[in-house]
Amino acid sequence: MIQWVQSDSKESRLTNKNTNPSPSNDDELMDAYSKAVTSVVETVSPAVVHLKVSGNRMGGSGSGFLISPDGFIVTNQHVVENSQEISAEFPDGRSLKAMKIGEDPMTDIAVLKVTSDQFPYLNFSDPTSVKVGQLAIAIGNPLGYESTVTAGVVSALGRSLRSRSGRLIEDVIQTDAALNPGNSGGPLVNSRGQLIGINTAIIPSAQGICFAVGSGTAEYVITRLMKNGFVKRGYLGIAGQNQSVPNRLKIFNKLEQNSGVLVVEIEQSSPAATSLLRKGDMILTLNEQTIRSIDDMHRTLDESTIQKELPIRVLREGSLRTFRIKSGEI
């Protein structure tokens, strides 16, 4: 509010009651949070691309980011699923054709490749350094708006998220950094501009609950996609369902676990078909790991189990049986 005041010399002068010093430059008014976000955006944005996809379905778009100077791009698998042509649009205006190198529906991760001069790229953070409450910055192309930045915090670690394939994705980060359709496949980074996750999902009915595949899982999958085009996993060849262990059988067999995986079907010519495993068996342990659910089976049958003779313990007709089964590869 402008107010006239009387001076000691009885001369009138114009003063501002809410006088504030004029800033010498904008940086002096920025707080630490703003500086951190601004610095990260300047560093990370050149490595984030807008992906345009055409294929058997209706064309779509999403986000991606470079992880190497020679043009490897990471995005979500569902962004490029069934694609026939993919173009990567860069912040500097370039548009390059991207080739699909590999994809893993189990973790919703895909790797693409573009060819040109050296590219800016992101580095992975140490997964053990990520803490709840730390700054989390998402950069992507929500709803087609390129190079959109949102910021928040890491809300929780160690979440699990069901992928579109039905498999459980582990090591998922929950964040309140706002994500929208089109953010899929973009990076979630820390205050140093290092990758802490790949933005992958939101809960439409809830505000402030978004998810990113953690950098530990992402790096494991990405290196294998770059090398093989797919992720190797163990395979038994069964169809199963989660099943509770009847109390009388728990007591009779002195079991502590409450559930296992009931074998409802065995594929022909599969590793399970040539083993002692039978339809109706309830799997309780595999490779010395307790099996309470299908998700436990998936966790256990990783790359290290391929072509290995694995000890398996089942409940059959009320009695415990232990034998070995050789894992195949999927």
Query: Which residues have a catalytic role annotated?
Result: 78, 108, 184
Kindly tell me the sign of the dihedral angle through the C-alpha atoms of 173, 177, 183, 188: negative
For residue 158, what are the CA distances in angstroms to 106, 187, 280? 17, 18, 33
> d(Cα 281, Cα 26) in Å, to the nearest integer?
70
Q: Phi-psi region for residue 280, left (φ > 0), alpha (ψ -120 to 50) or beta?
A: left
Kindly tell me the sign of the dihedral angle through the C-alpha atoms of 261, 262, 266, 267: negative
> d(Cα 232, Cα 306) in Å, to the nearest integer?
8
Q: Are 65 and 74 in contact (CB under 8 A)?
A: yes
Eight-class DSSP state of 1:
-
Could you give the angle at the alpha carbon of 229 between the alpha carbons of 241 and 296, nearest 5°?
20
The tokens describing 244, both together, are 């509770």
Q: Residue 87 contacts by C-beta under 8 Å, 6 or more apart in sequence? A: 51, 52, 95, 96, 97, 98
212 strand-pairing partners: 173, 199
> d(Cα 43, Cα 154) in Å, to the nearest integer?
20
The tokens describing 129, both together, are 């350094």
The tokens describing 266, both together, are 């065995």
> d(Cα 160, Cα 200) in Å, to the nearest integer?
12
Concatenated DSSP letters for 229-271? Answer: SS---EE--EEEEEEEPPHHHHHHHT---SEEEEEEEE-TTST
323 strand-pairing partners: 312
